[in-house]
Structure 1
Amino acid sequence: MGMIDKLMGAVFGSGNKALVETIEVFRENSEAGAERDAERAKAALEQFASEFARTQKGGFDRFMDGLNRVPRPAMALGTLGLFAAAMIDPAWFSSRMQGLALVPEPLWWLLGAIVSFYFGARHQVKGQEFQRSLAQTLAVAQAAAPRPEPGDDTNAALRDWKGSDGV
């Protein structure tokens, strides 16, 4: 037993700390890895929270946002309503569809253009708002990030190499 202890002490050093440090060269410390993962997840959640934090909007802006959310559900529910109407009263539905068939083609083109411009403009506005929020987040993150002083002293490996016989 004494010889094994001496051999292990020579290889790994005496004490548990040396053995732990030797093992951690080959395998990550699970507890430290979990702590790093938790910190990384916490930082990501904080970043998301700051990106999607709402700014205070006035009553008119909230009303218009609500009003802008009406057309898409109304069109989807209206289409489902047409299917229901066709099954409930086919004669009524048929007379309404005959009326739609009499609408001139240029009017259909105009309706298509209006709907396309409405949804296209809304898509563009939302995309620009998203880009603006990203730019603001990046500006805040860059302002909060520590800036290293110019020079080679910011690189620890280079500083150690200069201190050795490398230069």
Structure 2
Amino acid sequence: MGLISKGMDVMFGDGRNVVADTVGIFRESAENAGAREAAMKDAALGQFAAEFARPRKGLFDRVIDGLNRLPRPLLAFGTIGLFIVAMVDPIWFSGRMQGLALVPEPLWWLMGAIVSFYFGARHQAKGQEFQASVVESAARAGTVQQSIRALRQMEDAPEQPATPGEPNPALEEWWQAR
């Protein structure tokens, strides 16, 4: 019996689990990982909140936002216009396309880079605005929960007339009918 007891003490230690402690060195604790992940998310939300705390809605910002919205519709409507012109006046359209065929290839590459950078930057800016709105929504979650709780309490509470003062015979008759 003493030999088995000594063997168990060697394997599991005196009041502690040596196997679990050893495995803990090689495998991450799920509880600690969850705590670290929650702390990281809180830090990221705090950083987003600090970054987007100041709204940018001056006249200059609105004008620039308006100008940034122009290229996409202009490109789309311009392309549709080219199809229409090709059907209405094929000779004029062919002349314009022959002119485009004379544009050197490096200029096409430059045009592609400019358009790519423009739309890429716009995509990034819109992505950051979306992240800011997500942070604002997450910040309002507590207030929304409190409002829902208050609405449910009002729903469960017995209905009372909202107007104190002079009695309203029609309202009293309605209350009695219910």
TM-score normalised to the size of structure 1? 0.50
Structure with the greater relative contact order (CA < 8 A, sep ≥ 6): 1 or 2? 2
TM-score w.r.t. length of structure 2: 0.47
